[in-house]
Amino acid sequence: MRPSTIRTTVAVVTAGLILTACGSDDGGSGGSGSGSDTEAATATSAEDFGGMDALIEAAQAEGTLNVIALPPSWANYEEMLSTFSEKYDIEINSANPDGSSQDEVNAVESQKGQDRAPDVLDLGTSFAKQAAAQDLLAPYQVETWDDIPDNQKDADGRWYNDYGGFISIGCNASVVAECPTAFADLLDPQYAGQVSLNGNPTQAAAAFSGVWAASLANDGSLDDIGPGIDFFVQVKEAGNFNPVEVTPATVQNGETPIAIDWDYVNAGLTSTLAEDGVEWEVNVPSDGVFGSFYSQAISKFAPHPAAARLWQEFLYSDEGQNIWLKGLSRPVRLDAMTEAGTVDEEALAALPEVSGDVEFPDDEQQTAAQAVVAERWNAEISG
C-alpha cells in the first residue's frame, strides 16, 4: 500500500482538526453486560461490564455490529473490519461505505430504534460536534485511554481521536503527463476538468480539510479558511475543477484523474490500481501541508451497545492501532506504542517523513471555518 511517490521535502507548517464529539449516556437501547448490573448502553468503561472478558461475552451475545461510511480502502478499514469480525465471531453490517460524515449523523437521527441503525461512528470535526449538539452520542473510555494525548480526547470520554494523516494530491500518472506536487500547480491549463475533492466540504471532512490545506497554501491560516475557497474558485474559473466526488470507482474508471484526499486514502489505492495497469502517484503538496485526525464515537441509540464498545476497545488496542499504521495512517497511540516497543516497525518505516509541529485549531477556529465554508462553498463553487 506504499505510494509510488510521496514528496515531503520542505519544511512543514502543519494544521490539524481536533475532531470533537460529545453525548450523553441516557436513553440508549441494549442489553446488560455480563458480570455487571450496568446496562451495556450506559457502560462508560470495560469495568462497568466486570472486565474485558465480560464485555467480549456481552458483545458476542449480541453477535452483530453495525458500521456506516467505512470504505474498505480507507485507512486499511478492510483489514480492520475483517480482523475484528474473525477475532470475536461478530457479524459486521456495513452500510453506505462511500457515505459522508453528514450521512452518518443523519442515519443516527433518522434510524433511532431500528435494528439497522449505526452502532459506531467515524466522524470529521464539525460533524461530530453536530452530533454532540443533537445529543446523539454516548461516552466511553477505552482501556488504553491514558495513552491518548490530552489534546486528542474529551476528558469525559465523549470523543477521542484515532488515526490521522495529511492532505495529498493523488494523480493517475498513466494519463496525466506531469502530476501536480503543489496546490499552485492545480491552476495549470493541462489539468482541465481533472481536479476533484473527496466530497463536498459542507458534508465531508476530507474535502473540508482539502479546502483548509489550500488556504494554508495561499496565505490563509487556522483563523482564515477563506483563501482556500478563493483558490478553488480560481480552479473552477480555470476550467480545472471536476465536481465528481472521488471514490475508488471514479479513480479506477478515470473520472477523477487528480484526487485531493488524505495521504493514506490515496496511498491505499496504489496497489489496487497497479493491478489494472494504472500508475497512481501520491504527493503531499509542498505549499499547503495540512494534517488531521478522525475521531470515534458510539451512538447513544446503538442497537448493539456491547459490540459498539468492544469495537472501540479493538480500535485502540495495539493490534488495531498497528492496522491503521499498515494503512499508512498515523494512529493516535503511536508515541506510546513506540516507547513501549509494541509498534509495527516495518509499517512505521513506510510512513512519509514529515517535519514540523502539528497545530490544532481550537473550537472557535473550527466553528468559524465551518461557518465560512457553509456560507460560501455551494454559492461560489456548486452554484
**What pLDDT score was predicted for residue 247?**
83
Whether the CA torsion 184, 18, 24, 40 is positive or negative: it is: positive
The pLDDT value recorded for residue 1 is: 26
Prediction pTM value:
0.78
pLDDT lower than 70: segments of the chain: 1-38, 125-126, 352-360, 383
Question: What contacts 17, CB < 8 A, 6 or more positions away?
Answer: 124, 125, 205, 209, 212, 292, 293, 360, 361, 366
Measured distance CA(303)–CA(234) in Å, rounded? 46
Look at residues 64, 29, 8, 373 and name the one whose alpha carbon lies nearest to residue 227.
373
Domain ranges of the chain: 40-162+297-351, 164-291+360-382
* Res 125: pLDDT: 67
Considering only CA atoms, give the Rg of the chain: 20
Q: Residue 95 forms beta bridges with which residues?
A: 68
Fold of 40-162+297-351: D-Maltodextrin-Binding Protein; domain 2 (3.40.190)
Residues 131-189: pLDDT tens digits? 888 899 999 999 999 999 887 887 888 888 899 998 999 999 999 999 999 999 999 99
What are the residues whose beta carbons fall under 8 Å from the beta carbon of 105, sequence distance 6 or more? 121, 123, 127, 130, 131, 134, 136
Terminal-residue alpha carbon distance, the chain = 37
**Could you tell me where the beta strands, DSSP code E, fall in the chain?**
14-15, 64-68, 91-95, 120-123, 137-138, 160-172, 195-197, 258-262, 280-283, 291-299, 330-331, 358-359
> Which CATH superfamily groups domain 164-291+360-382?
Periplasmic binding protein-like II (3.40.190.10)
Task: Give 89-120 as a DSSP string.
Answer: T-EEEEE-TT--HHHHHHHHHHTTT-TTS-SE
DSSP 279-330: -EEEE--TT---EEEEEEEEETT-SSHHHHHHHHHHHTSHHHHHHHHHTT-E
The pairing of strands 258-262 and 195-197 is parallel
Identical fold between 40-162+297-351 and 164-291+360-382: yes
Say which residues have a Cβ less than 8 Å from residue 382's Cβ, sequence separation at least 6: 200, 243
